[in-house]
Amino acid sequence: MSPSDPYKILGVDKKASQDEIKKAHRKLVRKHHPDHNPGDAKAEERFKEIQSAYDILGDPDKRKQYDRGSMFGMGGGAGSGGPGGGFTTGDFGGFQDILSNLFGGGGGAGARGPQGPRPERGADLESAVAITFEQALRGTQIPLSVATTQPCPTCRGTGARPGTSPKVCPKCQGRGIEAQGQGVFSITQPCSRCGGTGTVIEDPCATCNGAGAQKTVKKYRVNIPAGVREGSRVRLAGKGEAGRHGGPPGDLYVVTHVAPSPIFVRKGDNLEVEVPLTIPEAIRGADVEVPTLNGRKKIRVAPGTQHGTVVKLRGEGPPKLGKGTKGDLLYRFVIDVPATLSAEQSEAVEKLSAVMGDDPRAKLFS
Residues at the binding site for Zn(2+) are 152, 155, 169, 172, 191, 194, 205, 208
- For residue 154, which phi and psi values (nearest 5 degrees)? -75, -50
CA distance 272 to 294: 15
On the 0-12 / 13-18 / 19+ scale of CB atoms within 10 A, 331 is: buried
Q: Which residues contact 325 (CB under 8 A, 6 or more apart)?
A: 315, 319
Q: How many CB atoms lie within 10 A of CB 58?
A: 21
Rounded Cα distance between 28 and 312, Å, is 42
CB atoms within 10 A of CB 216: 12
The letter for the amino acid at 350 is E
Short-list 221, 211, 175, 215, CA closest to 194: 175
Contacts of 50 (CB under 8 A, 6+ apart): 9, 10, 25, 28, 29, 32, 147
CA distance 76 to 57: 12
Note whether 179 and 235 are within 8 A (CB): no
Binding-site annotation, residues: 152, 155, 169, 172, 191, 194, 205, 208
3-state helix, strand, coil in the chain (%, to 5): 25, 25, 45
| Count, residues in the chain | 366
Q: Are 136 and 229 in contact (CB under 8 A)?
A: yes
Nearest to 126, CA basis, from 260, 244, 21: 21
- How far apart are alpha carbons 103 and 363 in whole angstroms? 74
